[in-house]
Every structure is written in structure tokens, then in C-alpha cells.
Amino acid sequence: MKKNLKYAFILLSICAVCAFALGYTNSITEPVIARQELEKKTRALEAVSNGWTIGEQESVESVPYVVYSLPLTEGDATTGYIVGLKGSGYGGELTLVASYTLDGKMLFAQMLANSETPGLGKKSELKGYMDKFVGTGATKPVPTTKDMLNSSDAAAVSGSSVTFMAVGKAIRGGSDYVKTLGGSK
């Protein structure tokens, strides 16, 4: 019995030291990670802004796929919006930002985070992937299935249909949301 208590105490001590070490490491790395994610988001917003001035972020609730929006202005006129989007891909949640004109036409998009399969769904992070969606949303429908693409674009997303559909649905959701805003904000 004494032997078992001794082993239990040793195990408890090891667990306590490990828990303290993990907590301490987290307290050191958490602000660094938060700063890096903010910098990544800022770079993405600038990349999709079309050179227009980015306004203040506003949270959006109860709108599918849309998390937040930021008005884009040129002078005093609202020219479009950047919309923070969320979708559900093969590997789980994915987040991206996209810019739109007032009529809902998608200008630029950039993936922020995802857990997709390397070599397949991770292609959505590559330059040129989002080009399949540029110019869609206003009068041209946003592609949400591979059969809405030309053969070369369909081949490029082969093997990652779930990711492509998730990105397409999120971009379509952002376009639909922006159409409800127009230049009214």
C-alpha cells in the first residue's frame, strides 16, 4: 500500500510540474501568436482592399458564412466591402477574407486559416486559386461545384471538391450579404 501511494505521489508531482510548464509556456507564446495572427490578417486585408481605404470592422451575426465586414472607401464614397468569411471544409473550419463591389462582385479573396489536406485542400492557400471566383457574384454566379468551371479549372481543384465547395459557398454568402448593404453603411 505504501509503495502504491509513493508511486501515485511521484506521478502526481510529474503531472503538476508538466502542467505548470505548459501553462508558463502558453503565457509566453500566447501574445506572440496573437500578434502574428493580427499581422497576417492585416496583410490579407490590405491585399484584398483594391487600394481603397479600409474602414472600421463591424461584427455580423446571424448571416450564414459572414463573420464581419469592413467598408472600403475612396474619398468620401463607399466603393465596396471586405467581408470576413467562415466555411466548413474537409478538414474543418476555414476562414478567408474577400472584397466586393457594392453590387456583390467579388474582387479579391485570400485564405486566412484552414486545416485542409496538404497537397489537396491546402491548394486553396496558393496564389491563383481564388482567381476562379474573381468577377463572380453580381451577374455571374459564384461557382460552388466543379461542373460550373471550365475543364482546366475543374482539373485544378480535382481531389479537393469539399474545400472548393466550402470556399465557393462562403464567397457566395459574402456576395449575397454585400448586395443587402449596397452603399448604405
- CA-CA-CA-CA torsion sign (44, 49, 53, 59): negative
Query: Is 115 part of a structural domain of the chain?
Result: yes
The pLDDT of residue 132 is above 80? yes
Got the DSSP string for 11-57?
HHHHHHHHHHHHHHHHHHHHHHHHHHHHHHHHHHHHHHSTTPEE---
pLDDT (0 to 100) of residue 123 = 66
Q: Is residue 4 part of a domain?
A: no
| Closest by CA position to 136, among listed 123, 122, 149 | 149
The verdict on residue 55 lying in a domain is yes
pLDDT for 174 equals: 94
Average pLDDT over the chain reads 86
Contact predicate 106/136, CB 8 Å: yes
Under a CB-based contact definition with an 8 Å cutoff, are residues 91 and 115 in contact? yes
DSSP H/E element including 52 = none
Residues ≥6 apart with Cβ < 8 Å to 18: none
User: Residue 125 has what DSSP assignment?
Assistant: G
- What pLDDT digit, counting tens, does each position of 99-125 carry? 999 999 999 999 888 776 676 666 677
3 within a domain of the structure (yes/no): no
Q: What percent of the chain has pLDDT over 70?
A: 90
Contact 73, 52 (CB under 8 A): yes
Q: Which grid cell is 84?
A: 470576413
Looking at residue 122, its pLDDT comes to: 65
Q: Helix (H, G, I), strand (E, B), or coil: what is residue 88?
A: strand
Q: What is the pLDDT of residue 185?
A: 47
Q: What is the largest CA-CA distance in the chain?
A: 79
Q: Does residue 35 sit within a domain?
A: no
Report if residue 7 sits inside a domain: no
Question: Residue 114: how many CA atoms within 13 Å on its side-chain side?
Answer: 29
Lowest-pLDDT range, 97-111, 121-135, 150-164? Answer: 150-164
28-64: per-residue pLDDT in tens? 999 998 898 889 888 888 888 988 999 999 999 999 9
Domain containing residue 66:
49-181
Within a domain: 11: no
In a domain, 8, yes or no: no
Q: Of 145-149, 173-177, 181-185, where does the model show the most confidence?
A: 173-177
Kindly provide the residue ranges of all beta strands, DSSP E only, lying in 30-155, ordered along the sequence. 53-54, 58-59, 66-74, 77-89, 92-101, 106-113
Domains identified in the chain, total number: 1
In this prediction, residue 20 has a pLDDT band, given cuts at 50, 70 and 90, of very high
The rounded distance, in Å, linking the Cα atoms of 38 and 180 is: 28
Question: Once rounded to an integer, what is the mean pLDDT over residues 116-136?
Answer: 76
Q: Is residue 74 classed as helix, strand or coil in its secondary structure?
A: strand
